Structure 1
Amino acid sequence: MSKILEDWQQKAQEKQKANKQFLAKLQTRRGKGVEKLLPDLHDEAFSKIDCLECGNCCKTISPRFKGPDIRRISKHLGMKEGEFIDTYLRLDKDEDYVVKFTPCPFLGADNYCGIYDVRPGDCANYPYTDSYDFFKRPKITYENSTVCPAVYYVLEKLKEKMDL
């Protein structure tokens, strides 16, 4: 295991303020090649991290379920959309549909997703470590650094490379 990943959750908690400041600085460097580093760092992180050994995202946070997600998943489950919403979802403060409870009701004991092939777009794109969303939503990114070891890893590697 990479030295960076040892006690990553505790370190991420301790570095919340610093990571928030770092991400704010990165936003000012848009177009200066920073985002080009992400795909390689994403691949490097996931060469060291197995999501099935972790599952923290599914255990602690919820994706947004957009209209197409709701239609696709309810069809897959053989449910009417309204029934799917009533059974599994609630509206959050931003008026987005999210799961009623955590862990996600579709997460199995083995950390496999029961609806993986039709999962919400937010799940498919999480943790955004290979896209511009990593910088575009700094608040979510630094919060995710305490949920996902890959986010923490990419942040730490970016700090090394950018020397900010």
Structure 2
Amino acid sequence: MGASQSSQARPEQVVSAPESSTSVSFSPSLIDRLSSPASSKEPSESTDDIVRRRLAAESAHIRSQEAEILSKISAALEKENLDKEKPGMSSEVLGRDIEEVREKVERMKRDREEKEGEGIRKAKEDILRCYRENAQRPLDCWREVETFKTEVAKLEKAFVKSLQ
């Protein structure tokens, strides 16, 4: 079929230059391509342009698939995390946790007050009373401050002694 069409012989055209003694011959297909009206128009898309366009389209398609897969994975992970947290994060559990923290704070406060003793507590109250009474002249409270320092020094000595 195709062989019979391509094997049809066309007369070869010979172009010779008047100054030179060599002759140049062109194949009929080249002459047809050069003389056809399609060749006078803009050149058709090159193979590189076609390949680039296809690669860009395929790349965009792959990126969209990747984004879709990532969104599905993140949604699945989020659902899994929520499923794990639900039993542990009920309002009852949070309420118990808050209550435990309150109890610890109260216990620490009581322990601190017990360790301070009556002398430090009284010295603190005396300083506060003196500052309130002498708001314009706080330096008049030096005696109360010295008493407080003495009580703190006693407490520090007792603490160091308990560590030995």
Structure number, greater radius of gyration: 2
TM-score, normalised with respect to structure 1 = 0.19
- Higher-helix-fraction structure: 2
Report 1 or 2 for greater relative contact order, CA contacts < 8 Å, sequence distance ≥ 6: 1
